[in-house]
């Protein structure tokens, strides 16, 4: 039985990136380069850590944000950390760096040396979306009265 090659689902990837742009804009507000917003993550009354959003660069058409999380498990496991480029003109946000790995392709042959999934880029952007959505739904900003 032959397997067909993975074909990038560009519409789904662009939809995810557009949704992530809106989520990040809500969470970031009017932060400038060098500023950080921390959102305490809570689920069923238990603290799950702090979602940290740091604006690394801000320009008229693009911004770069570091998204990371701190928790009590930091000494035991690598907590997620990613760099996200926001493209203001097209209203999209794309994960460009995850756990110190950079520049993900739209598709990979499988298996491969780094064991990336064929749709690694889509999965990373989907993960960012779920992470930000959790922050919006269950987070409490540590520097603002309440998230919109």
Query: How do the domains of the chain map onto residue ranges?
Result: 10-29+42-141
Res. 68: pLDDT tops 60: yes
pLDDT at site 76: 61
Give the position of tokens 């760096």: 97
Instruction: Please classify residue 135 by burial: count the beta carbons closer than 10 Å to its beta carbon, then call 0-12 exposed, 13-18 middle and 19+ buried.
Output: buried
Mean pLDDT in residue range 99-108 = 62
Chain-wide mean pLDDT for the chain? 82
**Prediction pTM value:** 0.79
Scanning the chain, the segments in alpha helix (DSSP H) are: 10-28, 120-138
Indicate whether 123 pLDDT > 50. yes
- Beta-strand relationship, 81-87 and 101-102: unpaired
Q: Of 51-60, 70-79, 100-109, 124-133, which gets the smallest average pLDDT? A: 100-109
Q: Give the span between the Cα atoms of 68 and 54, in whole angstroms.
A: 9
Would you state the pLDDT for residue 147? 46
Residue 39 near residue 135 (C-beta atoms within 8 A)? yes
Count CB neighbours of 51 within 10 A.
26
Digit-coded pLDDT (tens) for 17-35: 999 999 999 999 989 999 9
- What is the model's pLDDT at position 111? 67
Bridge-based pairing of strands 46-58 and 81-87 is unpaired
Max avg pLDDT among 53-62, 100-109, 131-140: 53-62
């Amino acid at each position: 039985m032959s397997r067909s090659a993975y074909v990038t689902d560009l519409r789904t990837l662009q939809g995810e990136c557009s949704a992530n742009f809106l989520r990040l804009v809500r969470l970031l507000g009017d932060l400038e380069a060098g500023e950080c917003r921390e959102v305490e993550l809570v689920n069923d009354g238990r603290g799950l850590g702090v979602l940290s959003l740091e604006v690394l660069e801000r320009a008229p058409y693009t911004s770069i944000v570091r998204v990371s999380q701190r928790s009590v498990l930091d000494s035991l496991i690598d907590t997620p950390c990613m760099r996200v480029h926001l493209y203001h003109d097209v209203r999209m946000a794309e994960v460009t760096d995850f756990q110190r790995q950079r520049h993900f392709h739209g598709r990979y042959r499988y298996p491969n040396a780094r064991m990336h999934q064929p749709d690694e880029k889509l999965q990373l952007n989907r993960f960012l979306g779920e992470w930000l959505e959790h922050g919006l739904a269950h987070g409490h900003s540590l520097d603002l009265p309440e998230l919109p």
